[in-house]
Structure 1
Amino acid sequence: MSLVSPGGRLSPGATRDGGAAMYEAWFSRPVPVATGVSGEINNLSNARQAVDLLSNHWRSAGSPKHMAALRACRQAMNGGIAADVARDALVDAAREAHMLVE
């Protein structure tokens, strides 16, 4: 798996400053999730967006699937796992929280 954009550049958000590289970790397909009271649909396209949702706007925060998805998305942003492995964990957590739009 390449952690660079298709043009060979680091993805937006990636760093080369000597610290840990952070990547957007783009998913192969967006994950549609319903959020808020009104059920607004958000299409999550990368692990960075998923971490924001999982950290700040999750309905059933703290469940094992929620924690696994958060951990997987953070690992994908650090280049430790493929973005679509994190995507699969996010889909499982969103389904459990009744947030996945299928």
Structure 2
Amino acid sequence: MFAKPFEKPVRVWVGLGFPRQLNNVIDAYQMLMDWNGNSPEQKAAIRACKAALCGDVDTETARGVFVAFAKKKDILVEDELVPPQIAARTDSHV
């Protein structure tokens, strides 16, 4: 049950807008299990991570499903370092 590292880490916003770096499937799985929710995207990401941990799918497949979950929940850190909800408030005052 050894998880190879992702080719590129995934960063997500957690808590009050703090970035968290996920380096492998175990990190992603742990984050998903701690996530308060029960959406179809979360369930798919959990299944993908479990399959990667068992060796049924490759690490990058699980990463892709996790990234889709993070995008859907608007927690994926892209290139900017401002949490989406703060950016939206800033843009509305300009």
Give the TM-score taking structure 1 as reference length: 0.72
1:96 matched to 2:75? The reply is: no
Aligned residues: 78
Distance, in Å, in 1 between the alignment partners of 2:45 and 2:4 is 14
- In structure 2, the partner of 1:35 is 14
What runs of 5+ residues in structure 2 fail to find an aligned partner? 79-94
Shift of 1:47: 0.5
Could you tell me how far apart the structure 2 residues matched to 1:74 and 1:100 are? 21
Kept in 2: contact 1:25–1:77 (CA 8 A):
no
Instruction: Assess, with a 3 A threshold, how the Cα gap between structure 1 residues 94 and 53 changes in structure 2: closer, same or farther.
Output: same
| Matched residue type, 1:74 | K
2:9 counterpart SS class: strand
Deviation by residue 1:23-61 (Cα, 9 ceiling, x = unmatched): 22321110110001x2110111100011110001x25x2
TM-score by length of 2: 0.78
Name structure 1 gaps, 5 residues minimum.
1-21
Q: Secondary structure at the match of 2:27?
A: helix
Q: Which runs of 4+ in 1 moved over 4 A?
A: none
State the identity %.
Answer: 36
Q: Which amino acid aligns with 2:32?
A: L
Aligned-pair Cα RMSD in Å:
1.1
Q: Which has the higher helix share?
A: 2
- Higher RCO, 1 vs 2 (CA within 8 Å, ≥6 residues apart): 2
Equivalent residue in structure 1 for 2:56, among 64, 80, 86: 80
